[in-house]
Structure 1
Amino acid sequence: MTSDSQTNFSGDDLAKQRALRKTKAVATASLVGCVIVFLTARTFQETYPLLSFVAAFAEAAAIGGLADWYAVVALFRRPLGLPVPHTAIIPSNKDRIADNLGRFIERNFLSAGAVNAKLSEVDFGMMVADWLAAPHRSSSLSNFAVRVAPQALTALENNDHLRELVSSRLNAQLEKVQVAPLAADLLQAVTADRHHQKLFDELLRVFGGMLNDEAALASVRDKIRTELPSLANMFKADAYLLKKIVASGGALISEVQSDLEHPMRREFDRFVERFIADLRVSPDYADRAEKLKRSLLSRPELAELSVHAWKAVRSFVETDITSPNSMLKGQLTAMLVEIGKRLAEDPKLRAEMNHGFVTSLGAFVESQKSGVATFISEQVRGWDMGQLTRLIELNIGRDLQFIRFNGMIIGGLAGLSLHMAERIIFG
């Protein structure tokens, strides 16, 4: 390995390189030792016959070690630089390795089952809860939100198509709202605790005020006078009748005001209940309510009101975010912190959120995994194979060198066994 390549290695890589060189040297020395032992044993086996067993072991060990040296070297380069077929396997098959590696990762590491199983191990909901529950993080998020708010409002204002789209969608949703049943529900909520009796009390107060209104009484007296015969008017019967009417009316109003269970109040309850029931199911009421709704939506004043409301909202936002004690920032931060706390306390909500994360991220990985495989393949194709070969050899080469040791041991034992069999069979 050249000194240039060494300069790109870290301290750990240099340690691996030294260990690899040491293991290579020991393996080569062992191979040379087997050859020396074989030659020595062959030389003296005539004098010492038992050396034939040593020679058989050493010869087979040398052959096994040499064969495994060839196999290990053939993975990375051509042995002795000779153009032997099916050598330098890794450099020669770079493109095929790249494609197979990409497909392998796509099928095994990025499969839907594997990805979803791994994503399911992550509690995304708790991560979000912990993040939001920290006030400084929620404050940072709210600061970012209010900082981009003016730009978002400007973009919405300047985008006529978007504004028209929002307006049309809003109108479409309002058209779907059934006003009469909605009004019935609202009235039902109001009358649940007889709050409508407050309206009845107000009506009684108005009528009581009319009984003390001189102008109103004069008008009633004139009406009575026109209905009575002239002779009755001569005896001021109109004044008498008016006095009686006012007295009776005042007494009745006082009686109703003091008695919460008065028959008139009960009759008003029944009237309101009948009105709510009719409002909920009557086609006539429904038609009138829809006409009123469409008339209201078509009024130009409503459009002007929405424009003024929008300008008021924008002005408030722009003024508030520049304040050191921004109300929007404070409220948004408090809301985010509260969301984080509620999320941490609600395992069901976190489970639903986690399911959403797994589904969304799993779908994203599924749609992009072919691109990931292609990316990996292209990256491997673009690698410098000399550097890649050195990298692989550096990380697994020492283990491969032990194959040479194993080859010498297994080969030697095989050679010794064959030699022993030969002696037994042939003498």
Structure 2
Amino acid sequence: MSTKDHFDLEKWLAYLEQSHPLSIELGLDRIREVGERGRLFQFPFPVVTVAGTNGKGSTVSALSKLLREAGLNVGTYTSPHLLRFNERIQINGECVSDAEICQAFRYIEALRINTSLTFFEFTTLAAFYIFRHSAHALDIVILEVGLGGRLDAVNVIDPSLAIVTSIGYDHQEYLGDTLEAIAFEKSGIFRPKIPILLSKKAKISTLLERALILGNPLVVEGEHFDYEQSKSRWRYGNKVFKLPRFYLPPTSVSLAMAAYTLLGENHFSLPPLCEVIDAFANVMMVGRYQQVEVDGIKVIFDVGHNEDASHWLTNQLRSLNLQGKIIAVWASLSDKALSAIVAPMKQMVSTWCIGELVGVKRAASTQMLQAVLREQGIEDILAHASIEAAFTSAQRIAKAGDSIVIFGSFYTVSQVLEKFPGQNKTFQDNGLFCCDVTRQAS
């Protein structure tokens, strides 16, 4: 009997973190070899694969919400997690248990024999095992690509529908340093003839060319469907739907509704969209432009960690017409384009409270963060040893009417959320929750 037979989830995750020489090593050979050995890629239901620079997780969550409202059994696989690994693998909006994950890990460990797997490859295979052996008869699975698309572990599965949420600059060391190169990598999730759903920000030449070669029907935001935010209505072809008030990224909601429509046309007999659309009413997502008010101070959590995400967050803050000061609580990973993250926000932020991400190997040091801010001409900086201390500092200087914005990384939001009292931290329902609109109103 192996000692790992008695591992709890914490021990398994620690083991997987150090079991492969590289934390990221793109390629499908290793995962394909192990997965085919266990016949883990034979799903008897449709699969939706979601790729993109930003907006993947919120699109997965929004689509899952609609499909479950329609009565389907839905499995979802997303990454990274904020507080608990279990968030990554959910069935019908509920995180799978430690016991289920450990059982899947034991199976993959025995199955791999001497094949070394990265953390993400191993956990992706475990998710596939859980979906195949779920006590629920799953009707559909939605998979979020981890990095890129073409060589990402998720791409061993042939999807029935592919979604690209956006194309922007991130992970250039793996995907290339032009939008065309990045788009080509993400188009790797396409399969011949399957429908492809694109946002406006995913219309890049190399991606469109790939779809043409494969004969993919394209359904494009702004052409075949669109969301009119000023009128709170969504159009698909000649049909128009009125939307309830919601707090999710509009593009994610729009893509989810288009995907629901396509799945209803090609795979399922679904209720009309108008019968399930109220599932979005007053819904917010943990860590994605999530707002809460404490003692008259608005606190906003956002996991945005690249230039496009920072521009989006800046535009959202402008739309709030905030009257008080904005205090940023910022930390990021050292391999990110730090100046590009800061630049969109610098005109809006009065004070920057910065600190290192504790226990994160790739974390930018406090000194590195401070140097980036200085290079941008920013002087009002409160530097701390940890992001938790930075948030405490922001709370201390904030007054009623001010706003505190925590952003820069999933880790940044995670480490502050862990210490934030009384905040909704549940990741049931894929991180979605119904917010108190009287407190959230701007």
Tell me whether the two structures share a fold, i.e. TM-score over 0.5: no
* Greater percentage in helix: 1
TM-score (norm 2): 0.17
TM-score (norm 1): 0.17
> RCO greater where, 1 or 2, for CA within 8 Å and sep 6 or more?
1
* Greater percentage in strand: 2
In terms of Rg, which structure is larger? 1
